[in-house]
Amino acid sequence: MTSNHDSTSAQQTESPHEPGGLPVPPSPLDRLNDECVCPDCGSAHFNRGPTAGLSLNVRCAGCGSKFWYSPPFTPARIDNPDCVYQLGTRLTLEQILTH
């Protein structure tokens, strides 16, 4: 018995694709997960914000951009008031996650 599926259709199911078979492009926000830097200005320092479960809110200490951060999920932009962040403390993401 022969299969009607070719090797290209099998390859497409192994990686994330949009409807229509096109690859899903990486999000610029993935830079926060991949490089631990702000995707807007490249700063590696952040202010800790509110946390819930395994996720936390961080504010870039360089440009003030704010993100929901919960690796390995793609970060999301958020808009919390500055008063909920520890503005006097600049930490790397690694420092925030380990304290």
Q: Is residue 68 part of a domain?
A: yes
Residue 64 belongs to what domain range? 26-98
| 3-class secondary structure, 33 | helix
Q: Is residue 80 part of a domain?
A: yes
Q: Is residue 5 part of a domain?
A: no
Q: Is residue 21 part of a domain?
A: no
Q: Is residue 4 part of a domain?
A: no
What's the pLDDT at 59?
98
How buried is residue 97: exposed, middle or buried, by Cβ count under 10 Å (0-12/13-18/19+)? middle
Q: Is residue 92 part of a domain?
A: yes
Number of domains in the chain: 1
- Rounded distance between C-alpha atoms, residue 85 and residue 14, angstroms: 40
How buried is residue 45: exposed, middle or buried, by Cβ count under 10 Å (0-12/13-18/19+)? middle
Q: Is residue 48 part of a domain?
A: yes
Angle at 49 between CA 48 and CA 52, to 5 degrees: 115
Q: Is residue 13 part of a domain?
A: no
Structure tokens at 81: 């008031």
Model's pTM, two decimal places? 0.74
The ranges of the chain with pLDDT < 50 are: 3, 5-13
What's the pLDDT at 9?
45
- Rounded distance between C-alpha atoms, residue 74 and residue 66, angstroms: 14
